[in-house]
Each structure stands twice: as structure tokens, then as C-alpha cells.
Structure 1
Amino acid sequence: MPLTAPRILVVEDEPVINQAVTERLQGSGYDVVQAWDGPGAVALCAETSPDLVVLDVMLPGFDGHEVCRRIQAQRPVPVLMLTARDDEADILVGLGVGADDYLTKPFRMRELVARVAALLRRVERAAELADRSPAPLGDLGDLHVDAASRRVRVGGDEVHLTPTEFDLLLCLAGSPGTVLTREHLYAEVWGWSGASGTRTVDSHVKALRAKIGAHRVRTVHGVGYALETGTSA
């Protein structure tokens, strides 16, 4: 067990939900700080340096997407976004500004705690992977993935990926051309097994394609995804 409990920032303007999430996370052994609006969340994140943020989309001041954009500009931090709308466009916006995962309201507290634990484990695994992989993976066509520096170049141009997008690409790049199931990707990248995560994988793949090129990740319908190494669609 770590000497210091991971710190979680809970950002939710509904007092009942904020307190319920806070108490459940505290009961699971986390150190929790609370914010109720956009500006307060950004300020508290800078002040307390949380290990993870649970972030509602709809907030006073400015919304969760803007909060996520601002806190990721301060320093990379895992973000679990809470959304009242199961709308793919909204979810992709959240992923595009740096969210790592999302839950649609209403959600079960047990699943929220499991997602939080999985995201924190993913951060630990990413650090371990970087330690074990000092050398770049090399060139996959004109796609260059460097595990140690966590940098990606496409055709010589550097591409900015969120931590989760990079881990997803790294997982696919480990077996180029091989079809990996959604369940396998969710277990490997998010550290959480279950069919409920397959839409999370699909959404992240769409966000990843928008950055590295849609033709680079092949869909095998009903199965999963494979990284292609060709340079054209």
C-alpha cells in the first residue's frame, strides 16, 4: 500500500452527487477534495495537484470540457468525465480535450470506484512500461512511436496525443497488423475488463484516428481493431 493515499478531485455542481461520490471514494481509501464549478476546479487542481479528477461536464462558470482543457495545460492528469448525455459527439469532445474515460449518468458508485482504480493503475503501468522500453518502437510506415519519450510522429510531424490515446496506440503498435479485440484493448489500456467498456474503446479509436489518420487503424466489425503500417488509405 502507498504511504500516501491517491488524491482525487471531485468536480460536480450537484451537492448530493458531489457528496455521495466523495464519501464513496473516501470509503475506498482515497484522499478527496471537492469543487463545484469550473473556475474553482481549475484553481483547486493547481493548488492540490490531484492524482485523478472526476469531472462533470455541465458546470457553472465554464463547462467540464474547458476545465479539462485548462488542467491538462497545467500538467497531465487522468480525468474521468461524467456526462448526462450518452451522445457520441459530446463524448468525443471530452476525449479530444484530454479526458481518459467517461461514465454516463446515472451510474453505479461501484463502477465509478472501479474506473478510478483502473485509471490510477494505468498511470502506474505506463510509467513501468516507459522504464522497461527505453528504445523507440521504431517506424511503422511513416508512423513513428517512441515509448520512452511518449512521442508520436506522422510523416515527420509530431502529433499530440492524450495519455490514453498514446497507451491505446502503443498497445496496437505492439502487434501491428494483428486484430485486437475491444475487450482485450480495454483490459490492457484501461485495466478494467467488461463489455461496458467497448464503447469507450470505440470512442478513443475515433479520437485517435482523427489525429494519426483514419486509414491507420482498421476496423474488423464485430471483433476489434488493428494498426496498419501503410502510408496511404
Structure 2
Amino acid sequence: MFVNEKILLVEDDQSISEMVNNQLMKEGFMVETAFDGEEGIERFSKQSFDLIILDLMIPKIDGLECLKLIRERSLIPILIMSAKDGDVNKALGLGFGADDYITKPFSMIELIARVKAAIRRATDYSKVVKKVDSEVIHFGTLTIDISNFSAHKNGKNLKLTSKEFHILKLFISNPNQVFTKAQVYNKIWNEDYFGDENVINVHIKRLRGKIEDDPSKPQYIKTLWGIGYKLGEP
């Protein structure tokens, strides 16, 4: 399934880069490496990739800035690596647009599993979108265009990340359904849920910040305390 999938690895530590590169190649992936943010952006601009593995602590252009620059142009899956939880929270929660993360030190088994899951999710969602054929959903002041991954509020582009868009689509496509955090995680991340609420909380909070008039009093994605979330009234 993953043969010939192409990955961009941006990591300034030579030993880590070689270790990850070798393991990915053993799994059948093609890998391009970059050792700083400037080189990473240059390679991203000139080639097509299926996933980016991005260390946050890299020279010239740091990982968070790279994330921001890439997300302005693409919804490509991005897996970040970092030894600092604070940087991970920023990447997930401040609109930079990471899809998943792994903290150092990590096992190669976990890394490969996350890489395959991220590519699988992107591939599966792409297949779904191709079947929709320009479906546009209007909900209150929101307009969601499934075919081109865009969402607008009162005509203004919301600039949602990949995960934010998928979460919004999940709720708007199922207006009467209550979703537990486990169900949200299973459907969006396509993985088993092990109680890591932080990832979901951060993405929901950021999404609300973009779609709600008052994020502290959400109207579109409502919290049902002790249960989960539900789409509100438009």
C-alpha cells in the first residue's frame, strides 16, 4: 500500500535523520531529507510529497514557521517531532496545522505506525472527497465546500487546517448525532482512542476560535458535559 509513497524528512540531527531515513526506506517509502527549515521549504516547493516529518528545533527557519508556510499552500499530512511538550501544543493548538506528533525519544515502531496512519487517513479522505463532486454545505453563516477543502464564514475564508476541516465536516454532515471524544478521534484520526483528550481538546478549541462568534459560548459545536459534542443550531 505504501510502496513509492514519498516522504520529506526535515531533521537537523544527522544520526536521527539517517536512522529514520533507513527505516522508512525498509518499509518501502521514498525519502528526501533536509537538515534545516530553509532547505525543507525549498524541497517542498520543488517536489510533490505524500507526508512531511518535521522536527521543530531546526536551524535557519524553525519548525513552527515551516509549518505555517507549508499550511498556507498545502493540506499535506505533517507529522512533527519534538522533545518539548510546549512546542507540540503550539503546533497543534495555535493554528500551525500539524496533523500528528511524536515526542523524542521515540521508538521506530511508533514512528512508522504514525506515518502509515497519517498517509492512510489522507488517502482515504481523498477518495471520499472525489465521490462527492463539488458538494457545498451551507449551515448558518458557514459555507463548507467539500470538493476543495475550504470553509467560509460570512464569505470570509476561515483558513482551516486539515484536521479542523475534517472535524467541522464530521459534525455538519451528521447534524443530529452526538459524538464522544473517542468517536471523534476514531473517525478523524482513524486510530483507537486511548484517552488522550488533549489532542481533541486543542483541535476543538482552535476550530471554535475560527467558526464561533464567541468561542466561550459556542453555538456551532456544543459540548455535552460528560458525553461529548454535538452540532448546535445554525
> 1:127 corresponds to which residue?
126
Partners in 1 of 2:85 and 2:230 — Cα distance? 26
Three-state SS of the structure 1 residue aligned to 2:85 is coil
After superposition, what is the alpha-carbon deviation per residue over 1:138-161, rounded to whole angstroms, capped at 9, x for unaligned? 322222222223221223333211
After superposition, what is the alpha-carbon deviation per residue over 1:145-181, rounded to whole angstroms, capped at 9, x for unaligned? 2222322122333321122211111112222253212
> 1:227 corresponds to which residue?
231
Contact (CA 8 Å) 2:182, 2:195: kept in 1 or not? no
CA gap of 1:149–1:46, structure 2 versus 1, over 3 A, is closer
Q: 1:188 Cα shift?
A: 1.4
Partners in 1 of 2:140 and 2:63 — Cα distance? 37
CA gap of 1:47–1:197, structure 2 versus 1, over 3 A, is farther
After superposition, what is the alpha-carbon deviation per residue over 1:92-118, rounded to whole angstroms, capped at 9, x for unaligned? 45x612222222223332222122111
> 1:27 corresponds to which residue?
26
CA gap of 1:9–1:135, structure 2 versus 1, over 3 A, is closer
Partners in 2 of 1:124 and 1:70 — Cα distance? 23
Three-state SS of the structure 2 residue aligned to 1:188 is helix
What amino acid is aligned across from residue 5 of structure 2 in structure 1?
Answer: P
> 1:90 corresponds to which residue?
90
Three-state SS of the structure 1 residue aligned to 2:170 is helix
Partners in 2 of 1:196 and 1:31 — Cα distance? 33
Q: 1:221 Cα shift?
A: 3.9
CA gap of 1:14–1:199, structure 2 versus 1, over 3 A, is same
CA gap of 1:197–1:12, structure 2 versus 1, over 3 A, is farther
Partners in 1 of 2:22 and 2:196 — Cα distance? 25
Three-state SS of the structure 2 residue aligned to 1:5 is coil
What amino acid is aligned across from residue 133 of structure 1 in structure 2?
Answer: V
Contact (CA 8 Å) 2:53, 2:80: kept in 1 or not? yes
- Structure 2 residue 217 is the aligned partner of structure 1 residue 218: no
> 1:37 corresponds to which residue?
36
Q: 1:47 Cα shift?
A: 2.9
What amino acid is aligned across from residue 195 of structure 1 in structure 2?
Answer: F
Q: 1:229 Cα shift?
A: 2.7
Query: Within 5 Å, which residues of 2 pair with 1:158-169?
Result: 158-169=157-168
Partners in 2 of 1:197 and 1:32 — Cα distance? 30
> 2:135 corresponds to which residue?
136
Three-state SS of the structure 2 residue aligned to 1:195 is coil
Partners in 1 of 2:136 and 2:45 — Cα distance? 34
After superposition, what is the alpha-carbon deviation per residue over 1:9-60, rounded to whole angstroms, capped at 9, x for unaligned? 1111122222222222222211111111111111122233221100011111
Query: Within 5 Å, which residues of 2 pair with 1:36-185?
Result: 36-87=35-86, 89-92=89-92, 96-134=95-133, 136=135, 138-185=137-184
Q: 1:61 Cα shift?
A: 0.7
CA gap of 1:21–1:223, structure 2 versus 1, over 3 A, is farther
Contact (CA 8 Å) 1:102, 1:200: kept in 2 or not? no
Q: 1:132 Cα shift?
A: 2.2
Three-state SS of the structure 2 residue aligned to 1:96 is coil
Three-state SS of the structure 2 residue aligned to 1:194 is coil
Structure 1 length normalisation: TM-score?
0.86
Unaligned runs of 5+ in 1: none
Q: 1:137 Cα shift?
A: 5.4
What amino acid is aligned across from residue 115 of structure 1 in structure 2?
Answer: R
Partners in 1 of 2:7 and 2:195 — Cα distance? 23
